[in-house]
Amino acid sequence: MGLTPQEALDLFHSDDLIGIGMAANEVRRKKTDPRVATYQIDRNINYTNVCTEYCSFCAFYRPLGSKEGYVLPLETIHEKIEEMIALGGTGVLLQGGLHPDLKIEFYENMLRSIRERFPQVHLHCFSAPEVLCIAEASSLSVRDTILRLRDAGLQSIPGAGAEILDDEVRARISRLKCRSEEWEAVHREAHALGMRTTATMMFGCGEEYRHRVNHLERLRRIQQDSGGFTAFIPWLFAPENTPLGKKVPEATAFDYLKTLAISRLYLDNIDHIQSSWLTPGIKICQVGLQFGADDVGSTLIEENVVHAAGVRNRTNEEELRRIISQAGYTPAQRDTLYRSYILK
């Protein structure tokens, strides 16, 4: 039996960071191989930066009609994938803004062209808000949208666009973006079709602890019903260059590690918890391996969204292996769905 919402709230208000971390690590050791910590080599490809949602935490998007707006040609996408394969990569995360003029045929064509050229590459693409945008632009149901994308090569859906799954917060930071129910509906539909997805949480955007608990509770309920989430990835809001960043204080390492550990305790039905290096930095990511995380995410060969918000952290396979080893674990490269491990 996992934590109750009140118990989670009490932990958020507690200063016992080490005690919470030790409890989370105990759960992690039982759920996954206690000797191994994993990473992935993949690449984010932002096929467009055009977006109609104007989220206040985002420095990446450009409005429709902007001179700086782009849609990547297929050849460019293929070249990026070739570079990723040369670096030992196994997966691609295609993600855009929400471009109102791109219909399902555009996405089918993009996926098929990749699938034909690179059949070995796992396609983990399009956030729930993008799926909803494609459905609306193409006058399709969410189910038919996912089915058509799957037929074209889509294999799993990332948890992006969740931010905080509480509509009080969403109304403040991403007023035009989908509501919590809609994010949930896309993931439930994908799970019902046998497709795996991940769950994320972007925190430190001025929300209260109760909002984080509501978020975790929603994820736990979905997972109870479907079992479709492979992993949970909490990450910190990157405030620079964003309208929201001027209004909220930057979250601390203490808050990051405590939230990571509480996530491990609360989401007792999700197998994997990821410690992030992109916004907290590589050293905090490493410490996260003692606070309930069993994975340090991906090398993210290309990352543009958080980069636009002033974050300059970069890493590579060698560094991820080093931080894992020095934290006392055997590093293993995994695939997108955590099915296979390669011990090198």
- Report the residue from 21, 89, 91, 97 that binds ligand SF4 according to the rule CB under 6 A: 97
Contact at 8 Å (CB) between 90 and 42? Answer: yes
* Cβ–Cβ under 8 Å, residues 21 and 290: yes
User: Taking the complex as a whole, how short is the minimal distance between the CB of residue 60 and ligand SF4, in angstroms?
Assistant: 5
Answer yes or no whether residue 291 interacts with ligand SF4 by CB under 6 A: no
- Tokens, residue 283: 């050293």
Q: Does 55 bind ligand SF4 (CB under 6 A)?
A: yes
Nearer to ligand SF4, 95 or 156 (CB): 95
Indicate the DSSP class of residue 329.
-
Closest CA to 198 of 338, 1, 31: 338
Site size toward ligand SF4 (CB under 6 A) is 12
Q: Which 116-135 positions form the footprint of ligand SF4 (CB under 6 A)?
A: 129
DSSP-derived letter for residue 98 is -
Q: Does 104 bind ligand SF4 (CB under 6 A)?
A: no
Rounded to whole angstroms, the Cα distance separating 22 from 14 reads 14
d(CA 14, CA 138): 48
Q: Does 164 bind ligand SF4 (CB under 6 A)?
A: no
Q: Which of 177, 196, 264, 321 forms a contact with ligand SF4 (CB under 6 A)?
A: 177
> How far, in Å, CA of 276 to CA of 254, rounded?
14
| Binding flag, residue 53, ligand SF4 (CB under 6 A) | yes
Q: By CB under 6 A, is residue 94 in contact with ligand SF4?
A: no
Cβ atoms within 10 Å, residue 260: 29
In the complex, the smallest distance separating the C-beta of residue 177 from ligand SF4, rounded to whole angstroms, is 6
Interaction between residue 278 and ligand SF4 (CB under 6 A): no
Closest CA to 188 of 160, 219, 162, 226: 226
Q: Is residue 209 at the binding interface for ligand SF4, with CB under 6 A as the rule?
A: no
Give the one residue of 60, 235, 256, 291 binding ligand SF4; rule: CB under 6 A: 60
- Residue 137 lies near ligand SF4 (rule: CB under 6 A): no
237 binds ligand SF4 (CB under 6 A): no
- CA–CA gap between residue 256 and residue 69 (Å, rounded): 33
Q: Point out which residues bind ligand SF4 (CB under 6 A).
A: 51, 53-55, 58, 60-61, 97-98, 129, 174, 177
